Amino acid sequence: MGLFSDHQPMFVEVETTTYCNRRCTYCPNSMFDRGLRKNEVQMPEDLFHKIVQDLGRNHFCMQFSPHNYGEPLADPRMPHLLEMARHEMPKARIALYTNGDFLTPQLFEKLTPSVDAFVITQHGEKMPPGVKEIFDESGGSHPKIRYKTAQMIKANASNRAGLIPMQIKRREACGVVMNELHINAHGQLILCCEDFLAQKVFGNMRDMTIEEAWSSEERLRVHRGNVRGDFTLDQCATCGHGRIT
């Protein structure tokens, strides 16, 4: 059995592109130029393959998502990458988080065999036309789609470790680092999903295996402090959730 046979990450997030077509006020992409097309960084396909192959070799059966702050469906390689992920990780639950702007019924049909769940968040005033077509064709709902609106995001928004100015309730403790692995398009193993600027990096997946990433002594040291509420990193101490009006 692989290293994960006893205690697996609950969630593994791998960003394939930094580009996002939207600049939502509750996202750091509205404040920094990381998400612009001219600055786009795409994770090399061989690195993505290495990561999902490592996960599959360790019998990974929890959730895998190909995103971080980039829009996954803005990456034209996504159908192929998801097919690769499904092949290497047959036991995993693959969830695709997307704004839906690039989704069409044809693309949805192509992706469906590889994807267990589509989490679509409407960030504009209207439902993206392709998503509306999918719902219309499926009678108003689809078992693989979880649909959210920007209002739902704003009702319990994160301040993204202090980057988004808003009144928040700070976390008293946090188990994210303990339970999740987050890898950005550069291949960096970052602190968590809130670490937009990659202020805390535990290594690069080009130089380490998924086993080494999961058992990193420094990463474990941070998470042991966080679950006790002993935040040694500034971004952890300032992280919280609140309502955006």
Output the DSSP codes for 102-118. Answer: T--HHHHHHHTTT-SEE
Total domains in the chain come to 1
Angle at 195 between CA 79 and CA 68, to 5 degrees: 10
Give the Cα separation of 3 and 12 in Å (integer). 15
pLDDT single digits (tens) 34-80 = 999 999 999 999 999 999 999 999 999 999 999 999 999 999 999 99
Q: Which residues pair with 170 in a beta bridge?
A: 240
pLDDT single digits (tens) 207-239 = 999 999 999 999 999 999 999 999 999 999 999
Of 58-72, 160-174, 182-196, minimum mean pLDDT range: 160-174
Q: CATH number of the domain at 73, please.
A: 3.20.20.70
Find all residues with CB under 8 Å of 11, minimum gap 6, and list them.
Answer: 62, 63, 64, 65, 179, 180, 181
The pLDDT of residue 1? 41
Q: Does an H or E element contain 23, and which?
A: none
Find all residues with CB under 8 Å of 109, minimum gap 6, and list them.
Answer: none
Does residue 176 surpass a pLDDT of 90? Answer: no
The pLDDT of residue 5? 52
The pLDDT of residue 188? 98
User: Would you say residue 5 lies in a domain?
Assistant: no
User: Would you say residue 245 lies in a domain?
Assistant: no
* 45 close to 81: Cβ distance less than 8 angstroms: yes
Closest C-alpha among 72, 49, 46, 54 to residue 9: 54
**Strand 117-122, strand 93-98: pairing:** parallel
Full residue range of the structural domain in which residue 196 is found: 11-238
List C-alpha distances in Å: 194 to 114, 148, 162, 189.
27, 20, 9, 13
Structure tokens at 22: 């939207």
Look at the pTM and tell me if it is higher than 0.75: yes
User: Would you say residue 193 lies in a domain?
Assistant: yes
User: Would you say residue 192 lies in a domain?
Assistant: yes
User: Would you say residue 244 lies in a domain?
Assistant: no
* 229 half-sphere exposure, CB direction, 13 A CA radius: 5
What's the average model confidence in pLDDT over 111-138? 96
User: Would you say residue 79 lies in a domain?
Assistant: yes
Angle at 43 between CA 40 and CA 49, to 5 degrees: 160
User: Would you say residue 231 lies in a domain?
Assistant: yes
Does residue 111 surpass a pLDDT of 70? Answer: yes
User: Would you say residue 164 lies in a domain?
Assistant: yes
Residue reference for tokens 């989704």 = 103
Which is more confidently placed, 32 or 2? 32
Sheet containing strand 157-158, edge to edge, reads: 157-158, 240-242, 169-170
